[in-house]
Amino acid sequence: MLYSAGMGAGILLRAVQEPVFMQQHPPYPSQASPDILALVYTFYQWGFTAWAFYGLFAMIIGYFLFVKKRKVLVSATIADVVSHRPTKTGIDILTVITTVFGLVAAIGLGTTQINGGINFIFSAQNGLLTTLFLATIISSLAFYSAWNGVNKGIKVISKINILITIALLTFTFVNSDMGAVLFNFYKATLQYIKDFIPMSLAFGDYDPGIAFLTDWTYYYWAFWIAWAPFTGIFIARISKGRSLRQLLLGVLIVPSLGTFFWFSVFGTSAFQLMEVWGSYQGEFSGVFSSLFIFFANYPMATILNLTTIVLLIGFLVTSVDSAVYVLSMFSDNGKKNPNKSHRLLWSVFIFLTTVALLLLGNAKPEINVLIAAQKLLIITSLPFAFFMVIMTVIFLKQLLKQKKLP
C-alpha cells in the first residue's frame, strides 16, 4: 500500500527515461562514471527525501490521531498552539487544494503514458478520446475501491499491483546483466549515501544550476509535498499499532531500497542497450514511450508492454482511491471511516477536474498544460512546505512535554 499510494505509476513513468536523461545530461561534474552518477541523482530524487516527507507527515498525523485522539485533519496538528478557527480552516483548505493539484497532475501524466503505450503496441494514433476513456476507467475503479474501504478495496488492489511489479522487475533483472545491475546498485547506493547532504543543499560542486533544479528537483519536492498530506495520513491510517520507530524505519528504508534496486535494474539495462546499439538517438527521451521501447528489446515484448499498461492502471487506481479516501476524511469532519457519499463526491470531482485538464491541453496544444500544472504545483506546495516546518516544531514540543511527564 505504501508503494501503490505514494509512487506507483511514477516509477514506471521514469524507470528508463530518467536514468538515461541523467546519464546523457550529468547534473554536475563528478569523478563517478556517468552511469553511476545518473543512478545516484535518480536515487536522490526518489529516495530518502521523498519518503521522509511521507514518513514525517505520517508520524505526526498518526501521533495526533491515535495518541491524542484528534480528528483526521491537518489543522489538528497545531490545535494546541493555534486556536483561531479561520486559520485552521485555511490550513485544511490549502491541504485539499495541494492534494487535488498533485493528484490531477499524476492522473494526467499517467493516462497520457498509458495512451502512448497502447499506440506503441498497436501502431495506432489514439488521441484525446482514448485518454478520456482511460481517465473514466481509472476514476470508476478508484471510486469502487474507495467505496469498499481500506481492507476490501484499496488493500486488495495494492497487493495485486505489487505482485505484478515484482514479477516485472524479476523478469527484467533475470534477462539483464545481473552482475552489472548488482554492482551499480551497490556502488550507486554507497555514493548516494556519501553525497546525500551536499546534493540536498546543492552545495558547491553539487549545484546543478537553477534551470535543472526547477525542471527536476524542485518539481519532485513539490510533488512529494503535494502528496504528503493524503499519503502521510493514509500511511498513518494503515500503521495503527506501530511505534514511531517502526513507522519511520518502515517508511524510509524499505521503500527507498526497493526504489534504488528498481532504477538500478532498468537504468543499467538501458545503458547496456545503448552500448549495444552503438549510438543513442534519443530512443528513451520520451517520458510516455521510453519503457515500452525498452521492453521491445526483450523476449515476450508485447506481453511485457501489456502488463505495464495493466500495472499503470492499477497504480493510478490505488493512488486515486487512497486520495479520495483521505479527502473524504477531511470533508467528513475528520472521521477515520468517512461517509460513502463523501467518497462519491470526491471521486466525481477528481474525475471532472482531470477531464478539464485534458480538454484544456487538447484545446491549447501550443501550451503544455501538464507542464503548467507541474509549475503550479510548485507554487501551491510552497506555503505548505513552511507549514510542515511549523507542524514539526509543535510535534517535537509535544513529544518533549510527554517525555517529561511522570
Cβ(106)–Cβ(381) below 8 Å = no
3-state secondary structure of 298: coil
Per the structure, the complete domain to which residue 36 belongs is given by 2-404
- The region, left, alpha or beta by phi > 0 then psi within -120 to 50, assigned to residue 72 is beta
Q: How far apart are CA 319 and CA 161, in angstroms?
A: 11
Terminal Cα-to-Cα distance of the chain (whole angstroms): 37
CATH of the domain at 12: 1.20.1740
**Shortest CA distance to 143 belongs to which of 324, 304, 276, 268?**
324
The whole-number pLDDT of residue 45 equals 93
**Shortest CA distance to 16 belongs to which of 214, 224, 286?**
286
- pTM for this one? 0.86
Q: How many CB atoms lie within 10 A of CB 155?
A: 17
Q: How many CB atoms lie within 10 A of CB 151?
A: 9
Q: The dihedral of CA 150, 151, 156, 158: what is its sign?
A: positive
CA 4 and chain centroid, separation = 9
The whole-number pLDDT of residue 369 equals 60
Averages of pLDDT over runs of 10 residues in the chain (406 residues) are 66 90 93 94 93 88 82 81 83 82 77 80 80 87 77 73 89 95 96 94 90 88 80 79 84 90 96 91 85 91 89 82 81 81 88 84 66 68 82 87 64
CA 178 and chain centroid, separation = 27
Q: Which DSSP symbol is given to 87? A: H
The whole-number pLDDT of residue 320 equals 81
The whole-number pLDDT of residue 284 equals 92
Cβ(340)–Cβ(147) below 8 Å = yes
The whole-number pLDDT of residue 373 equals 66
Q: How far apart are CA 308 and CA 312, in angstroms?
A: 6
The whole-number pLDDT of residue 153 equals 62
**Shortest CA distance to 42 belongs to which of 54, 60, 58, 24?**
24
The whole-number pLDDT of residue 33 equals 93
Number of independent structural domains in the chain: 1
The whole-number pLDDT of residue 130 equals 86
Cα distances (Å, whole numbers) of residue 307 to 110, 149, 175? 15, 26, 17
